[in-house]
Structure 1
Amino acid sequence: MEAIDGIIYINLDHCTERKKEIEKEFSRLNIPPKKIHRLSGVYDQLNGTRGCLLSHMMALQLAIKKKWQSVLICEDDIFFTCDGKVLEQKLNEFISFANGMWDVFLLTGSFIEKEKTNHQNILKINRSWNAGAYLVNGNYLEKLFACFTFGYEIAKNHLFYMQSERLRCSTDQLWQVLQKEDLWYGAFPRLTLQRLGDSHINISSKPFDHFGSIIFIDQGNSQNRFSILDNISVDVNKVATLKTPQAAIEKAISLNTTSALIIYDHITLEKSQKRLDEEIRHLKAWLGEDWDLYLLDHFEGALDDCEHLYYQKIKKLDAASLFAIKDRFYPTLLNHLKNGKTISSFRVEPHHKIYCAKPDKTTVTM
């Protein structure tokens, strides 16, 4: 790994299983142990954003102290999507491409605003989320540290996570200012992704808060509907009940929400809120806003593997009783339903981004 002077992975002391998993990854990649440095992360039970921010600041401080010319900073819940030879090849390709003119190279992330470069596997990044794995140029360490310090000065007096989140104090929100003006790049396809597991930043599990509206489809099971509402943590002002899928999509459009969760009132929630929250958080960390439909209930239709270890791409829709839909996909599905067709008869095209999680047996417990 000539392109990297050092690798720092952030790991909370009590997360021993995560430590084993990430070290197993480094071993699989044949990374020299002398390049790997564990950083004991800051555990802030009430404000994980602040703890995460401090941990990344400490990682940057360590790299500055060691005077590294390049450092890879990783969180302990990542896994690499390639082997060691391919990783080294990709890093060398980037270093050659950038020719010294770079600040940060993101190995993962939700690349919200990006531009193509003259290299098919390298994107110019203008806005992204996710600080799971990123390579920093030694000349840029101080500037990135100052950026995080600015956020910490705001977050240090916040008791709770949501206070810091509302003021955009997380690492991947703070650095978006720098991405607009400096030389940030990203790997395509991504070289690392996140494992499913508990978040130590947001300690609550409220999966339905991820969506702008929640719409039940009334199939005459009002008692079950009320039971579901009793068992989930949700703002009731976000909930509506309609008779048909078509009416549900029309309602979502009228509410002008960026996403909606559609629930048939006959279903039984087989997955825990914690499990659902993990799925949705990691889906968003992986894809950002770049998805169309996500099925949260158990699915046994036609599936394809995709670049993420824990998700599958759906090739043919079967029954869908609990699903999330993105606003960009509202018109497509609505046009189909207007012709009197069912969701299960929708023709999935290759460009559609429709996903579900793999069965629970693939989940890694952290």
Structure 2
Amino acid sequence: MRKGFHPLDNIDVVYYINLDHRTDRKDLFLEEMQKMNIPPHKIIRIPGVYKPGKGDWGCSLSHLHAIKSFHESNYQNCIIFEDDFVFTQDPSFVHNAIQSVFDKNSNYDVCMLSCSSGKTEPTTNPLLLKLYEGQTTSGYMVSKPFSKTLLQNYQESTQLIEQSYLRGKGYSIHRDFCIDQYWKRLQPVSNWLVFEPKLGKQRDSFSDIQGGFVKMTV
């Protein structure tokens, strides 16, 4: 990789969510960023919210804190990562893919680096698909104009999860309130995109949400 080059030239800030006790994931994530030559000054850690036995709630609150930080900042484009994200494409491909979002005037709202996707359709950019139904919060770009809409969606999501737990409802009841389910109401009516091929996936590791080792495919 040439000196001074990094794949996220057009991204102002990289947020990553990391629980305080998961120093193992923090180290691995920062190693991943170093491999991609991402300048350390662009990387901001968001302390994850730990809710034992209620990992879905903690995850949603953590992403709420990340998007709130971005919305209140002067940054125009960000990526929000979870700390188990790993790139599956080489740095040059990642750079070209992300650069194409800006070169081709995609006017994106959200662009997912990894995703478990349902309905999609082609766009004029061969590296991007329009996403109508997609989940997984491991890595996604957000534009500043859309941050307020996403923030409001996350606030609603976390409030509904909290109310569900307070009523004693189980995960099967409130799972539709998790942010990567609740945001699906925004996807058909916004310029919500996903890279194709995907740029990364979640690393196989112990999951605090699942309570055990998880082998990830996306």
Q: What is the SS of the residue equivalent to 2:204? A: coil
Runs of 4+ in 1 over 6 A off after TM superposition: none
1:12 counterpart residue number: 19
* Offset, 1:202: 3.1
Does the CA contact (< 8 Å) of 1:154 and 1:169 recur in 2?
yes
CA drift of 1:159 comes to 5.7
- String of CA shifts for 1:213-251, please: whole Å, max 9, x gaps: xxxxxxxxxxxxxxxxxxxxxxxxxxxxxxxxxxxxxxx
1:5 is aligned with what amino acid?
A: D
Q: Which residue of 2 aligns with 1:40?
A: 47
TM-score using structure 2 length: 0.90
For the residue of structure 2 that corresponds to 1:58, the secondary structure is helix
Aligned residue-pair number: 209
Compute the displacement of 1:70 (Å).
Answer: 0.6
Q: Percent identity?
A: 30
- Distance (Å, rounded) in 1 between the aligned partners of 2:158 and 2:109: 22
Equivalence map 1:328-343=2 (5 Å): none
Matching residue within 133, 136, 143 for 2:142: 136
Aligned-residue offset at 1:96: 1.8
- Residue aligning to 2:79: 72
For residues 37 and 167 of structure 2, the distance between their equivalents in structure 1, rounded to whole angstroms, comes to 40
Aligned residue in 2 for 1:127? 133
Instruction: Give SS of 1:66's match.
Output: coil
Deviation sequence 1:236-281 (CA, Å, 0-9, x none) = xxxxxxxxxxxxxxxxxxxxxxxxxxxxxxxxxxxxxx55xx23xx
Q: 1:145 to 1:166 in 2, by over 3 A?
A: same
Change (3 A) 1:161 1:140: farther
Aligned: 1:54 with 2:61? yes
* 1:158-177 matched pairs, under 5 angstroms: 158=165, 163-164=170-171, 166-167=173-174, 168-177=176-185
CA RMSD of aligned residues (A): 1.8
TM-score, normalised with respect to structure 1:
0.54
More relative contact order, 1 or 2 (CA 8 Å, 6+ apart): 2
Q: Distance in 1 between matches of 2:168 and 2:111?
A: 28
Aligned residue among 82, 91, 94 for 2:89: 82
Counterpart of 2:110 in structure 1 is 104
The code of the aligned residue for 2:200 comes to: T
In the alignment, structure 1 residue 22 sits paired with structure 2 residue 8: no
Is 1:153 aligned to 2:159, yes or no?
yes
The residue identity in structure 1 corresponding to 2:107 is: M
